[in-house]
Amino acid sequence: MVELEARQKAAMVPFAELAGIWRGTTVETRPDGTRERTIAAHRGGPMLDGKTMVLEGRSYREDGSVAFNLMAVISFDPAKGTYEFRAYGRGHVVTIAVHPTPTGYYFERPEPVTGATLRYTVELGGGRWREKGVRMVPGKAAVTVLETDMTRVGTTDWPAGGAVGFRQP
């Protein structure tokens, strides 16, 4: 058991840079071609002693209303040797493979109804988080559907901070 947990923790090192509070902008392009620019405010932090990474992404319209809210967990399964991205947002629950790269990670999500694939690529470095979402349809040119550019603006002990302690207050 200890060996499996050690492998999980070591495997999560590529995602450590996600920890913190992030702010910037997101531009989302809808299928009809309209674009919405929002204020991106994300946070990330390790859980289970660094064996998972928990993310919350929010985007706000200029009036302060929430345009988008997502919660996700990135984890590593040492038995399979694979990474998993499980996300909740916009009424969907998605569990897909996530692949670390030397500068971040990427994941692909199929759209079974349309036959398209959404590929999201995250680049991390120098306190910046840049994410690009591309919609790919066989036989057609790829279309950018999401561009996010954020800067780390602080640290946080979320979500592990404030855990229930051994003794009652």
Q: Which CATH number does the domain housing residue 85 bear? A: 2.40.128.20
Residue 8 located in a structural domain: yes
**Nearest-CA neighbor of 132 among 151, 142, 145?**
145
Phi-psi region of 112 (alpha: psi -120 to 50; beta: other; left: phi over 0): alpha
Q: Which burial class, exposed, middle or buried, applies to 150 when counting CB atoms under 10 A from its CB (0-12, 13-18, 19+)? A: buried
* Mean pLDDT of all residues belonging to the chain: 95
**In total, how many domains does the chain have?**
1
Phi/psi at 77 (5° precision):
-100, 105
For residue 81, tell me if it sits in a domain.
Answer: yes
Indicate the helix (H) or strand (E) that contains 28: strand 20-29
Question: Residue 167: inside a domain, yes or no?
Answer: no
- Residue 119 inside a domain? The answer is yes
Asked whether the bond before 31 is cis by omega within 30 degrees of 0, the reply is: no
pLDDT in tens, 131-167: 999 999 999 999 999 999 999 999 999 999 988 888 8
pTM (two decimals): 0.92
Confidence label for 169 from pLDDT (cuts 50, 70 and 90): low
Domain of residue 136, residue span = 2-154
Residue 160 is assigned to a structural domain of this protein: no
What burial letters (b/e) apply to 13-43, b meaning 16+ CB within 10 Å? ebbebbbbbbebebebbeeeeeeeebbbbbb
